[in-house]
Amino acid sequence: MRISSCRARPRSTGWPLCPPHSPPTGCGPTPNAALLDDDLRAMFDQHLTLPPLSRDILIAHLEESHPGTDPFDEDSFRNALPKDRVLGQQDILGLIRALRAPTAAGVAAKLPHKPPAKADAQPTPPRVSPGPSLAALPIPADLKQMLTQVGEDLLAWKAGTLAWPEIARGALLVGPPGVGKTETGRALARSAEIAFVECSLSAGLGQDAHLGESLGRIQAAFDRAKAEAPSILFLDELDAVGDRATSRGSNSGYERRFIAGLNEMLDGFEGREGVFVIGTANHPELIDRALVRAGRFDRVMRIALPDRRALAQILHRHLGDALPGTDLDRLATAAIGASGADVAAAIRAARGLARGRRETFAEAHLTEVIGATHRQDPPDLIRRIAIHEAGHAIVASCLEHPAPVRIAFTADGAETTYAATANPGTRAARDGRLAAKMAGRAAELLMLGEIAEGIRNRRADQ
């Protein structure tokens, strides 16, 4: 059993030192707002490994918990207990029920003397939900090549032909919502036929009773991934955990300790052999720099909104055999600016439209739905938006600012996508970022003589 210093988590083969949600004696202090980061690191480095439950352990416990309840002849009582092999497999709930007996003899009588029966073999469930393979996904070629290599390396590690230290530790996938970051991780697991363990880092933040509950949920995902290795551990919404450099207010202490605990888990590379970690973020600039340094996430890869060709592939994948002969290229052109998730939602809406009208699903329904969400801006506004975005890109490419990699109209405006690089924190980098943000309006003033009152898309200046 592995006991964390902030909470004991009993397993079926271990001895419960203390009830859940209370700190075990001798395990260290409960986290509080006054702890420093060094204290937290030391606290989470303290672990206690205990042997499985045995007769000696149980007798020592009963001498304290049930003193004087029976004439205590240890030799005869020992023979009345199940053998160590059986006690070591005792279910924790069954053990708790037995310990509720008022006498030591009653405890012994309630404990089973045979190992638990093995459950009938069940069909092995799929290790990841059905879906496209990595090769079929419309993602950047460099990302597909890198993840394909990861899959091959994990299988080579499983076969014993590749040492674990030679394999990349993890990758951070960056991009706007709905571009397929989660599906990319699942596709890697499908293609390599390995387990996929998903954990949202934002789940429970600010709602858990204490820090140990938040970190315990993530540690459970790490433990499951290690148990099913080779596997993909998918940590979603890494940008939700905060940044210690900018953290302020009443939650800053919690955020600092949470990030320190997460760093400890990510640093356990040697202890998580066969587990490749994939993180995701919509806003990488909000992530604590320590989380994304080399050694935790070796590669930062961007997934942008799909272009026309990728949108046609996404339409074909979601439509399947429906609507044969449909002009997917025309629909893809109309859908430019949409994400893969948007396309899937549009197809569902079109099918619902057909059902509501008691009509057979047809291309016209899909055209109607996509046309309703597609931009219908006048040419003058389209030109202004294009000039605005070009201003961002030109200035960013000339100054110390992440290089622009894509400019695109979206369903609600336009956006300029920049390379995912770390902020060096220099004055030149700060000035470059500020200049690039202001360059959109400057371009409007230079080319059109005036600045529009506002930008339709809140992401345009990001």
Kindly write down the DSSP assignment for every residue of 117-152, as one continuous string.
PPPPP-PPPPSS-S---GGGS---HHHHHHHHHHHH
Out of 237, 255, 389, 444, pick the active-site residue. 389
Beta strands in 1-91 (DSSP E): 2-3, 48-49
Longest CA pairwise span in the chain (Å): 99
Helices (H), 164-278: 181-192, 211-227, 252-266
**Residue 270 annotated among the catalytic residues of the structure:** no
Are residues 443 and 396 in contact, defined by beta-carbon separation less than 8 angstroms? no
d(CA 126, CA 132): 14
Q: How many CB atoms within 10 Å of residue 413?
A: 19
Helix axes 252-266, 211-227, angle to 10 degrees: 20
The SS3 call for residue 139 is: coil
260 touches 40 (CB < 8 A) = yes
Structure tokens at 450: 């005036």
Measuring CA to CA, which residue among 259, 262, 232, 228 is closest to residue 243? 259
Alpha carbon distance 2, 266 (integer Å): 17
* Residue 110 burial (C-beta neighbours within 10 Å; 0-12, 13-18, 19+): middle
Catalytic residues: 389
